Chain A
Amino acid sequence: DTGVSQNPRHKITKRGQNVTFRCDPISEHNRLYWYRQTLGQGPEFLTYFQNEAQLEKSRLLSDRFSAERPKGSFSTLEIQRTEQGDSAMYLCASSLPREAFFGQGTRLTVV
């Protein structure tokens, strides 16, 4: 499968715990995005990488959120001290440069 891969698909965590999600983009794509989607809404932009450089972050990305893309390959998104409001679908997309292809997402539930 040469599409965007995200792991895990589902994560249930207790409030206050840290969680980390992984995204493996399409191999030749140098642009990688993280979006968040809540029920009944469209995806909202969180952050953008071009190769290994994080070039833009949304104001939605509080200081509890951190994203990395070491060596310009896979990316991780970590949420520290999770809150119930963090419950959402976290989507990763990659592109070259315009048409963005999404993974299946990681559904986070904070209890």
Chain B
Amino acid sequence: QKEVEQDPGPLSVPEGAIVSLNCTYSNSAFQYFMWYRQYSRKGPELLMYTYSSGNKEDGRFTAQVDKSSKYISLFIRDSQPSDSATYLCAMGDPTGTASKLTFGTGTRLQVTL
């Protein structure tokens, strides 16, 4: 079993829809959580960073963390064709030497006109 599970999609939605992307994890040591957006053949771009349970909002993006359920979500409101990309969840253990990130496989999102 992978430490981080993420549905690979693809997920296709019409422009303007609300998108929900999710990850589950098994390692209780993970204490901080990130969402990255990755366009084809590009590096991951940091969208959201959070370290506590609850919601964090930034523009059209809302990150939600439920540590008790080991479940995190990213919501995208008013989705645009430019949001079409792969979305990666990542999480880190602050007690480790490296504070390295463990990633999900990524969910491919397609926003259609």
Interface residues on A, range: 20 to 34
Separation of A101 and B96 alpha carbons in the complex (Å) = 19
The 8 A CB mask of B95-106 against A (1 = contact, 0 = none) is 011111111111
Q: Does A8 sit within 8 A of B, measured CB to CB?
A: no
Which stretch of A11-19, A39-47, A61-69, A70-78 is in the interface?
Answer: A39-47
* Chain A binder among B14-22, B37-45, B61-69, B72-80: B37-45
Q: Which range holds the interface residue count of chain B?
A: 20 to 34
Contacts of B36 in A (CB 8 A): 102
A33–B103 CB distance below 8 A: no
Q: Give CA–CA (A103, B41) in the complex, Å.
A: 12
Contacts of B92 in A (CB 8 A): 98
Query: Which B residues touch A1, using CB under 8 A?
Result: none
Q: Which of A13-55 contact B (CB under 8 A)?
A: 31, 33, 40-45, 48, 55
- Complex-state Cα separation, A95 to B90, whole angstroms: 14
Q: Is A97 interfacial (CB 8 A cutoff)?
A: yes
Give bound CA distance, A33 to B97, whole Å. Answer: 12
A105 near B43 with CB under 8 A, answer: yes
| Interface residue ranges of A57-107 to B (CB < 8 Å) | 91, 95, 97-105, 107
Contact between chains at B100 and A42 (CB < 8 Å): no
Given A42-B103, A98-B49, do A56 and B98 touch, yes or no (CB 8 Å)? Answer: yes
- Cβ of B99 and Cβ of A98 under 8 Å apart? yes
Q: Which residues of B contact A (CB under 8 A)?
A: 4, 6, 8, 32, 34, 36, 41-46, 49, 51, 88, 90, 92, 94, 96-106
The 3 closest A-B pairs by CB, nearest first: A42-B103, A48-B98, A102-B43
